[in-house]
């Protein structure tokens, strides 16, 4: 009986050792703290990152970029600064461009020419100054536009085209 108890104990210990070894071996594939896959960082690095400071290494920041909700009245044009983004939230708007080029509607993946309608809730990107949106002259109602980046509001030209 004593031999049976020792044999059972030996089997239990062997099984436990194999399970522990297998479990620790499966963790060998995961990133080790401090390795290139899981680097350690300092508290000051994290604080700087959370505060919006630049961390170098080619990573950009959103520091200095403002998001604003702008109301554009009939007779006005909302002109984007280079790199700005607009989302027409309310109202009926048309594209405005001071040259032959239009504005990029990245939601639909198309170019909107000056005077053409701008769909609500579509992301518009402006690579250069001189382009924007204005209320549809036929609608005679204000627009509400979410603006990311720089902009200015000016008087609309006598026609919606250039």
Boundaries of domain holding 149:
67-155
pLDDT in tens, 128-142: 888 999 999 888 889
- Tens of each residue's pLDDT in the chain, 162 residues: 667 666 776 777 777 776 776 655 545 556 777 777 777 777 777 777 777 654 444 444 455 567 889 899 999 999 999 888 999 999 999 999 888 888 989 998 899 998 899 999 999 998 888 899 999 988 888 999 999 988 999 888 875 444
Domain count, the chain: 2
Same structural domain for residues 82 and 145? Answer: yes
The CA distances from residue 71 to 67, 83, 100, 133, in Å, are 13, 20, 26, 11
Same structural domain for residues 71 and 150? Answer: yes
Same structural domain for residues 95 and 145? Answer: yes
| 141 vs 125: CA distance, rounded Å | 23
């Amino acid at each position: 009986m004593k031999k049976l108890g020792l044999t059972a104990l030996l089997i239990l210990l062997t099984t436990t050792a194999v399970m522990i070894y297998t479990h620790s071996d499966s963790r060998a594939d995961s990133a080790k703290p401090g390795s290139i896959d899981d680097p350690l960082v300092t508290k000051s690095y994290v604080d700087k990152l959370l505060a919006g400071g630049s961390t170098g290494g080619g990573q950009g920041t959103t520091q200095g970029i403002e998001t604003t909700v702008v109301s554009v009245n009939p007779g006005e044009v909302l002109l984007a600064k280079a790199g700005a983004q607009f989302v027409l939230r309310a109202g009926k708007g048309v594209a405005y461009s001071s040259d032959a080029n239009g504005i990029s509607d990245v939601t639909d993946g198309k170019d909107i020419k000056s005077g053409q309608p701008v769909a609500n809730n579509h992301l518009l990107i402006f690579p250069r100054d001189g382009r924007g949106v204005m209320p549809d002259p036929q609608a005679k109602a204000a627009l509400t536009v979410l603006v990311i980046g720089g902009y200015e509001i000016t008087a609309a030209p006598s026609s919606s085209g250039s």
